[in-house]
Amino acid sequence: MEGAKLLTIVGVPYALAAMSLLLISLPLPLISAEFGLPGPLAGFLGGSVFIGMLLGAVTFGPLADRIGRKLSLEAALATLGTSTALCSLAADWAQLVALRVLAGVGIGSTIPLCFVYLAEFTEPSTRGRTLVLLDSFWAYGWIAATLLGYLVIPAYGWRAYFAASAAPVLALVPALHAVLRETPMYSERAARGRRSVLDSLRALWASGMRRVTASTWLMWFSIVFGYYSFFLWIVSYMRRMGYPLPQA
């Protein structure tokens, strides 16, 4: 499969994961009003997706080593699409939190699986540039979430917004199943025998990797903390400043 074509195919689920992450931010003021949520409960609802992302990253990594990158990516997207669709039917805060945690499992597994899948098809000489291009699809996902929210939420409400956002994710699962194949690197490793999760952790914290692992984790934590703290709350903040929802 050609590099540009594969980048686009893998970039679409990556963009949809980005779109799904932003979903709660745009309608959060409306959801808070409908369910009568005080600030702390609204904040927990907004951040609950990250609990699922942690669970997804931890569980789908070993799963991808066991059943393959392709099937794991499809399972992650199916989890994300189904839970997002069910958000449109949530009857209360607790149900919506549980479904957003489940959506987070799908997001937190889709994101690394897209990078791993593309990296294992890419030559080392072009891998860095290709993965940076993949990350640009994140912006496309956020643009799509914003435009969809602008078109759907004022006219049809936040429930329709979740339903409309889930549709392309669910439609993508059978499409990817038809066009993707397993990575050659996974096939080779499966033939040699799988390495355990404990062995992988030992490799990350071996004497030559400890400083790199620790600094990478610290930088990633700091970036994510500031980035998502801002974007999850900016819409609610703008609403309090008096801006109507489409402008906020």
Beta-carbon contacts of 162 under 8 Å, excluding residues fewer than 6 positions away, are 23, 84, 85, 87, 88
The H helix count followed by the E strand count for the chain is 11, 0
The fold adopted by the segment(s) 3-192 is Growth Hormone; Chain: A; (1.20.1250)
Q: Confirm if 120 and 180 have CB atoms less than 8 A apart.
A: no
What's the pLDDT score for residue 232?
66
pLDDT of residue 39: 83
How many alpha carbons fall within 13 Å on the CB side of residue 208?
Answer: 1
Report the pLDDT value the prediction gives residue 114, as an integer from 0 to 100.
Answer: 96
pTM: 0.85
Q: How many CA atoms, within 13 angstroms, populate the side-chain half-sphere of residue 53? A: 15
What are φ and ψ of residue 194, in 5° steps?
-80, 150
pLDDT means per 10 residues, the chain with 248 residues, are 85 96 89 91 91 92 90 97 97 96 96 94 89 94 93 95 97 95 83 67 81 88 78 68 63
CA distance 105 to 97: 13
Contact, 153 vs 163, CB < 8 A?
Answer: no
- Which has the closest alpha carbon to 118: 109, 110, 127? 127
Residues contacting residue 51 through CB under 8 Å, at least 6 positions apart: 101, 104
**What is the predicted pLDDT for the residue at 138?**
94
Is residue 27 within 8 A of residue 153, CB to CB? The reply is yes
Return d(Cα 36, Cα 20) in angstroms, integer.
24
Determine how many CB atoms are found less than 10 A away from the CB of residue 209. 13
Residues 6+ apart with CB under 8 A from 122: 3, 130, 131
Domain residue extents for the chain = 3-192
Can you give the pLDDT at residue 89? Answer: 97
Place of tokens 């999760």: 197
Residue 93: both structure tokens together:
């805060």
What dihedral angle (degrees, nearest 10) is formed by the CA atoms of 10, 11, 16, 17? Answer: 80
Closest by Cα among 41, 113, 122, 119 to 75: 113
